[in-house]
Structure 1
Amino acid sequence: MTTQLLFYQNPTPVSSERHLKTSVKTGGDFSFAKSVNSVPLVAAEFAEAGAEFPIVFAGEGDTVVPTVILGAMGSENAYIDDDGKWTAKYMPLFIRRYPFVFSHQTSEGQLILHVDEAYSGVNKDDRGERLFDSDGSQTQYLKSVLRFLEDYQLKFNRSQQYCKRLVEHDLLRPMEAQFTLPSGERRKLTGFRTVDRDKLKALGQDVVEQMLRTDELECTFLHLASLRHFASVAERSGGGKTAEAPTPDAAEAQEGVVEDVDG
């Protein structure tokens, strides 16, 4: 899980003993995600996220996860402005769930809710929503958070099944994306993988029918179509410079060395 924490700094188990008087104020400031150029995605998000961002796959073996690219620079989210405002239409669930996260399964297989106490919106000044009532009972807000994360976990688990299918049939290959930023600077992103079109076309009918029934084939096409958005990522990246229109060639992503892409 550590590799997926990204902007979580001090995730702490939520309890009535520790957080009886704790409130959480979320809103329009997403500065906490300003320095990440990608975040994990679940397959259920492909349609909406793929309409704006490139969707790729990061990791190896059983740890492959869908990932959405948010910037052409290693530590820049091009969709958060200087005031911390989110400037895209769609916001990935991974960012929406912050400052909460599930972690550490118990021996009974239960996940434990954590809150990032380093987040500026976590307070004891009654700003935002309380986590517990005065008698230590969960508030409706906390119950809604739990429902949200439980749903997210189910979607994440289903996405892992999809990724396992891609790995099982050797459909992923290492890729790199090359950019020309508005400033004219050349950049390159590596460390991710995309579906190999030729291997996809060569799949047997039984596998194709299975992927069609499970919506995995639709997800694959959405992923491939989303790669055209590397161009818009390049336009937004590089400190907001607007010298000349960029000439991104990310759509012509080439096979390359896998390094790191998940910031």
Structure 2
Amino acid sequence: MAKQLMIYERAVPVSSERHRDWSLQTGRAYGFAKEVNSVPLLAAEFIAAATDHAIVFAGDAEAIFPTVILGMRANENANVDAAGNWTGGYIPAFLRRYPFVFSRGADGKTFTLCIDEEYEGFNKDGKGERLFDAEGARTRYLETMLTFTREYQGLFERTQLFCKRLKEHDLLKPAQAQFSLPGGQSAQLGGFFTIDRDKLKALPAETLAEMAKTDELELCYVHLQSLNNLTPMARKAAAAEAEGAPLVTEDA
């Protein structure tokens, strides 16, 4: 079955008619993310994520969005171990909201809360948190997740405005990272964009002042600083390789 949105297999609208008897057993297992080497990152997460991860921009000329790099190879997340435990520090909100997600209506303004029914913790055995009570009303847990997902969507749209500003000022450039690893191993990572530091510094004073007021200037430098995490991440991934296979990927 093809994934609808990276980690989502079959996202359907949450409803009391369909899900009244269903429960959600959550925990700290992130096996569902073991095959993604990058996920979207909100601008509000930059500072927290930059401690552990490299932040880049992915997409094309039509749509660019911040992305946190989680692995050096396609279909591999270096932050999830064989048991599905998260081992990489900060956990992006994109993963923390799973298995919930908003679906945008045809009008572009209406959003419907959906859930991935293929999530392994989704069950009819009463394990974990119920979504609806006996009368079909939302439980406190479902209300909490609805609020979290709604807040995520708001921050997502604010992040899109930040990306729009970067494109307006032509601040993004294609980038590729290459590494020399212990034992003569090499690694490459490409298919992403970074902010052009020289173009950023060359912006008019009034533009820089405006970006400083909106915290966008800080985000730019947090992103640039986070790129220093690429080499340690590559070395960590190489050290974890039992067979010492080459670490090469074309997409972030």
One-letter code aligned to 1:145? M
Alignment-derived partner of residue 12 in structure 2: 12
One-letter code aligned to 1:125? D
Matched, 1:57 2:57: yes
Alignment-derived partner of residue 217 in structure 2: 217
Q: Give the C-alpha shift of residue 75 in structure 1.
A: 1.3
One-letter code aligned to 1:6? M
Q: Using the alignment, how far apart are the partners of 2:171 and 2:8 within structure 1?
A: 32
Contact 1:38 1:71 in 2 (8 A): yes
Alignment-derived partner of residue 255 in structure 1: none
One-letter code aligned to 2:24? V
Alignment-derived partner of residue 125 in structure 2: 125
Contact 2:38 2:68 in 1 (8 A): yes
Q: Give the C-alpha shift of residue 199 in structure 1.
A: 0.4
Q: Using the alignment, how far apart are the partners of 2:237 and 2:70 within structure 1?
A: 9
Q: Give the C-alpha shift of residue 232 in structure 1.
A: 2.0
Alignment-derived partner of residue 100 in structure 1: 100
Q: Give the C-alpha shift of residue 182 in structure 1.
A: 5.4
4+ residue runs over 6 A deviation: none
Alignment-derived partner of residue 194 in structure 2: 194
Counting only pairs closer than 5 Å after superposition, residues 83-162 of structure 1 correspond to structure 2 as 83-105=83-105, 107=107, 109-162=109-162
CA RMSD of the aligned region, Å? 2.2
Q: Give the C-alpha shift of residue 196 in structure 1.
A: 0.4
Alignment-derived partner of residue 69 in structure 1: 69
Matched, 1:260 2:212: no
- Say which SS state the counterpart of residue 114 (structure 2) adopts: strand
Q: Using the alignment, how far apart are the partners of 1:166 and 1:181 within structure 2?
A: 33
One-letter code aligned to 1:150? R
Alignment-derived partner of residue 163 in structure 1: 163
Alignment-derived partner of residue 42 in structure 2: 42
Contact 1:179 1:234 in 2 (8 A): yes
Alignment-derived partner of residue 179 in structure 2: 179
* Segment of structure 1 superposing worse, 91-100 or 180-189: 180-189
Contact 1:176 1:190 in 2 (8 A): yes
Q: Using the alignment, how far apart are the partners of 1:128 and 1:184 within structure 2?
A: 48
Contact 1:53 1:69 in 2 (8 A): yes
One-letter code aligned to 2:49? A
- Say which SS state the counterpart of residue 134 (structure 2) adopts: coil
- Say which SS state the counterpart of residue 44 (structure 2) adopts: helix
TM-score by length of 2: 0.92
Contact 2:187 2:234 in 1 (8 A): no
Rate the CA distance shift 1:238–1:13 in 2: closer, same or farther, 3 A.
Answer: farther
Contact 2:4 2:11 in 1 (8 A): no
Q: Using the alignment, how far apart are the partners of 1:3 and 1:178 within structure 2?
A: 30
Q: Give the C-alpha shift of residue 236 in structure 1.
A: 2.5
The answer for unaligned runs of 5 or more in structure 2 is none
- Say which SS state the counterpart of residue 175 (structure 1) adopts: strand
Q: Using the alignment, how far apart are the partners of 1:40 and 1:218 within structure 2?
A: 19
- Number of residue pairs matched by the alignment: 247
Q: Give the C-alpha shift of residue 238 in structure 1.
A: 4.4
Contact 1:104 1:111 in 2 (8 A): yes
Q: Give the C-alpha shift of residue 260 in structure 1.
A: 3.0
1:43-86 Cα shifts (integer Å, max 9, x gaps): 00000101110000001234110000011111111011111110
Rate the CA distance shift 1:209–1:182 in 2: closer, same or farther, 3 A.
Answer: same
Q: Using the alignment, how far apart are the partners of 2:161 and 2:190 within structure 1?
A: 24
Rate the CA distance shift 1:68–1:208 in 2: closer, same or farther, 3 A.
Answer: same
* Segment of structure 1 superposing worse, 61-70 or 121-130: 61-70
Contact 1:56 1:192 in 2 (8 A): yes
